[in-house]
A and B are shown apart, each in its own frame.
Chain A
Amino acid sequence: MIKRFSVFLIMLGLGAIFLQLLLQYLPDESLNLSGRYYAENTASEVGAANIITAIIVTYRGLDTLGEVTVLFLTAAIVGLVLSRDQSQPRVKPADRPQPGELLSIGTQLLVPLILLFGAYIFINGHLTPGGGFQGGAILASATLLMLLTHPVKRFSHRLITRLESISGLVFVGVGMLGIILAGGFLDNRLLPLGEFGELFSAGTIPVIYAFIGLKVGAEFSSMLLKLAETEDN
């Protein structure tokens, strides 16, 4: 009874806090200082049609590097916790029901399309909404679909690990090249800015975002694989 009452009190308090926030909320009439700077100068300085991507990859590129590092650490820790002793013979997986016809045919049809869509999203990150993280998550959902259809089939860990490390190295390498050849770390003017709104424009943003997408996709996929491979013994 007391527990329920205290829960009710906590909910009431939270409600009061949010109500106060809501009542005090006043929409801004104009952009604030940094917002105005980004809105006015992105097209000429960075050359990306999607301002959010310009901020994530160029203006706040270091933060993105940190985010990618956090994700990498998470994937590494999941791998460490769920790692299986390789020397032990693998336990034969119990008899599982075969995937239905709908699932297997649907997977064959959908996986290439999902992969293509993910690649489209991260390559067009500087033009349309989306980018490396979103595209990577979509790539990982293709892996998930394959895992659902063939739970016993094993994916190549080496391929995923290589892909992940190479993408990370290229991301940091492009950033370092920016110090030497352009204005600073992760400066995108390493390559010519090109024509505004074209696919090959905005300097190194498409390159960086493509590799971030591959890296995020590989990390999520490795987490899912590790989860799928923990045997039921």
Chain B
Amino acid sequence: MNAILLVITILLGIAMIIAALMAIHRERSLPIAILSAGLVSLLASVQFLVLAAPDVAMTEAAIGSGLTTFLFFFVLGKVRRRKHD
């Protein structure tokens, strides 16, 4: 049981690093960076759940991967629209 848990947490950590690296991959596009930030938060919330902290996982999922991702897209849309005018 403990060994399986350890493997899962390590895999989740590696997945988080890969998701974070996606943000700075070759051509730097802001939408991809925002999406990968959301992905890191989502994986982090799964990590919290695996590590027996469901309260923290819930906050991370709702705020980290939900609200902030959309907020960033919202602001990005506004900035782009202003640039076009």
Q: Does B54 contact A (CB under 8 A)?
A: yes
User: Within B34-85, which residues are at the interface with A (CB < 8 Å)?
Assistant: 54-55, 57-59, 62-63, 66-67, 70-71, 74-75, 78, 81-82, 85
| Assembled-state Cα–Cα distance A220/B57 (Å) | 19
Known: A121-B58, A232-B78, A232-B81. A137 touches B71 (CB 8 A): no
Let me know if B70 and A227 touch, CB within 8 A.
no
* Across-interface contacts of B70 in A (CB, < 8 A): 141, 144, 148
Question: Is the beta-carbon distance between A130 and B55 smaller than 8 angstroms?
Answer: yes
Determine if B59 and A230 form an interchain contact, defined as CB atoms under 8 angstroms apart: no
- Most chain A Cβ neighbours within 10 Å, of B55, B66, B74: B55
- Which A residues touch B82, using CB under 8 A? 232
Chain A neighbourhood of B66, CB < 8 A? 137, 141, 144
Task: Give A152 to B71 CA distance when docked, in angstroms.
Answer: 17
Q: Are B67 and A134 in contact (CB under 8 A)?
A: no
Q: Which of B57, B59, B71 interacts with A224 by CB under 8 Å?
A: B71
Please, which residue of chain A has its CB at the minimum distance from the CB of B63? A137
Please give me the residue from chain A that is nearest to B59 by CB atom: A134
Q: Is the interface of A mostly helix, strand, loop or mixed?
A: helix
Query: Given the complex, which residues of B lie within 8 Å of A130, measured CB to CB?
Result: 54-55, 58
Chain A: minimal CB distance from B85 (Å): 7
By a CB distance below 8 angstroms, the chain A residues around B67 are 137, 140-141, 144, 220, 224
Nearest CB to that of B57 among chain A residues? A129
* A52 interface hit (Cβ, 8 Å): yes
- How many B residues have CB within 8 A of the partner chain? 17
Q: How far is the CA of A52 from the CA of B48 in the complex (A)?
A: 15
Which residues on B sit within 8 Å (CB–CB) of A102? none
* Contacts A133-B59, A137-B66 given; does A227 touch B81 at CB 8 Å: no
* Size of interface on A: residues with Cβ below 8 Å to B: 20
A140 to B82 CA separation, bound complex (whole angstroms): 26
Cβ < 8 Å to B, chain A residues 193-233 = 220, 224, 227-228, 230, 232
Residues facing B in A55-91 (CB within 8 A) are: none
Residue of B nearest to A131 (CB): B55
Q: A94-B81, A137-B66, A140-B67 known; A227 and B55 CB under 8 Å?
A: no
For residue A46, CB closer than 8 A to chain B, the reply is: no
Residues of A within 8 A of B59 (CB): 133-134, 137
For the complex, give the distance between the alpha carbons of A45 and B36 in Å: 44
Name the residue in B62, B63, B66, B81 with the highest tally of chain A Cβ atoms < 10 Å from its Cβ. B62
- Chain B residues contacting A140 (CB-CB under 8 Å) are 67
Chain B nearest CB from A54 CB (Å) reads 12
- A 119-142 to B, binary, CB cutoff 8 A, 1 in contact else 0: 001000000011101100110110
A134 close to B74 (CB less than 8 A)? no
Q: How far is the CB of B79 from chain A (nearest CB, A)?
A: 10
Residues of A within 8 A of B78 (CB): 230, 232
Q: Which residues of B contact A232 (CB under 8 A)?
A: 78, 81-82, 85
